[in-house]
Amino acid sequence: QQIGKYQSKENIYFLGRRTDVPQLLKISDLFVLPTLFEGMSNALMEAMAIGLPIITTDISENRTLIENKKTGLLVPVKNSSTITQAIKQIKENPLLLEQLPKEAKATIKNSFSLEKIATRWEDILTDTLK
């Protein structure tokens, strides 16, 4: 019922399973991930790499990637009003709208690029084989 209620709203679409996620992210204005449980979120990293402003819930796994008010905004779990406030905060603050995606992209590039991951694996394997 809730999905049906909101599906008719302008700018809110429930798309279901998609294979064109990178293209959808590129045409998006914002990435919101209100999750209760998460591992190292590929979705979050993809949105960061694309350069979207990010709002996600303040759980330990998300704090691995998101530094509040630097690479994204962290909001309390199960609190939809703070998500609304965070969206307004980004929309009304051009500096924040510019800074968050820039810092998020830099975090992905500096910490999670293919080269960085390969170097980490090489270090792990070297240490293991000693």
Return the percentage of the chain with pLDDT > 90, whole number. Answer: 67
Q: How confident is the model at residue 37 (pLDDT cuts 50, 70, 90)?
A: confident
Is the pLDDT score of 4 beyond 70?
A: no
Question: What is the per-residue pLDDT for 106?
Answer: 95
Rounded to 5°, the CA angle 80-10-8 comes to 85
Question: What is the per-residue pLDDT for 116?
Answer: 87
Decide if 60 contacts 37 (C-beta within 8 A).
no
Decide if 35 contacts 59 (C-beta within 8 A).
yes
DSSP output for 91-126: HH-HHHHHHHHHHHHHHHHHHHSHHHHHHHHHHHHH
Decide if 70 contacts 95 (C-beta within 8 A).
no
Q: How far apart are CA 98 and CA 106, in angstroms?
A: 13
CATH code at 2-129 = 3.40.50.2000
Residue-wise pLDDT for 70-126, tens only, equals 999 999 999 888 999 999 999 999 999 999 999 999 999 998 888 888 998 999 999
